[in-house]
Copies of this chain bind each other. A is one copy, B any other.
Amino acid sequence: MSPEQWTRSGTSSATEGAAGPPAATAAKPTREQVIAGLRATSEGGADLVQLLTPEGQRVTHPDFDIDISAAQLRDLYRDMVLVRRADREANALQRQGQLGIWVPLLGQEAAQIGAGRAMQPQDMAFPSYREHGVAWCRGIDPTELLGIFRGTDHGSWDPNTTRFHLYTIVIGNQCLNAAGYAMGQRFDGKVGDPDGEATVVFFGDGATSQGDVHEAMVWSAVYDAPVVFFCQNNQWAISEPLERQTRVPLYRRASGYGFPGIRVDGNDVLASLAVTRWALDECRQGNGPVLIEAFTYRMDAHTTSDDPTRYRLADEQEAWKLKDPIERLRVHLIREKFAGQDFFDGIDAEADELAARLREFCFNMPEPPPARMFSEVYAEETAQLAAQREEYLRYLAGFVDDEAMAGGVR
Chain A positions within 8 Å of B, measured between CB atoms, are 208-215, 218, 221-222, 243-248, 252-259
Out of B212, B215, B221, B253, which one reaches A256, CB within 8 Å? B253
Residues of B within 8 A of A212 (CB): 211
Chain B residues whose C-beta falls within 8 Å of the C-beta of A248 in the assembled complex: 255-258
Q: Chain B residues near A247 (CB, 8 Å)?
A: 221-222, 257-259
Which residues of the partner chain B approach A222 to less than 8 Å between Cβ atoms?
243-247
CB-CB under 8 A from A245, the residues of chain B are: 218, 222
How far apart sit A268 and B46, CA to CA, in the bound complex (Å)?
40
Cα–Cα distance between A252 and B243 once the two chains are bound (Å): 21
Q: Please name all residues of chain B whose beta carbon is closer than 8 Å to the beta carbon of A246 when the two chains form the complex.
A: 218, 221-222, 257-258
Q: In the complex, what residues of B have CB within 8 A of residue A258's CB? A: 246-248, 252
Collect the chain B residues with CB atoms within 8 Å of residue A243's CB. 222
Give CA–CA (A245, B222) in the complex, Å. 6
19 residue pairs from A and B, CB less than 8 Å apart: A208-B218, A210-B215, A211-B214, A213-B214, A214-B215, A218-B246, A221-B246, A222-B244, A222-B247, A246-B257, A247-B257, A247-B258, A248-B255, A248-B256, A248-B258, A252-B256, A254-B256, A255-B255, A256-B257
Q: B residues within 8 A CB of A254?
A: 256
Distance between Cα atoms of A282 and B125 in the complex (Å): 43
A323–B259 CA distance with the chains assembled, in angstroms: 31
Closest residue of B by beta carbon distance from A244: B222
**A218 / chain B contacts, CB cutoff of 8 Å:** 208-209, 245-246
Q: Which residues of B contact A221 (CB under 8 A)?
A: 246-247
The residue in chain B whose Cβ has the minimal distance to the Cβ of A211 is B211
Besides the contacts A222-B246, A253-B256, what 17 more A-B pairs have beta carbons closer than 8 Å?
A: A208-B218, A209-B218, A211-B214, A218-B245, A218-B246, A222-B244, A222-B247, A247-B258, A247-B259, A248-B255, A248-B256, A248-B257, A252-B256, A252-B258, A254-B256, A255-B255, A255-B256
Q: With A211-B210, A222-B247 as known contacts, state yes or no: A256 contacts B259, CB within 8 Å.
A: no
Alpha-carbon separation in the docked complex, A254 to B246 (Å): 12
A254 CA / B208 CA spacing, docked (Å): 15
In the complex the two chains form, what is the Cα distance from A221 to B247 in whole Å?
7
CB-defined contacts of A252 to chain B, threshold 8 Å = 255-256, 258
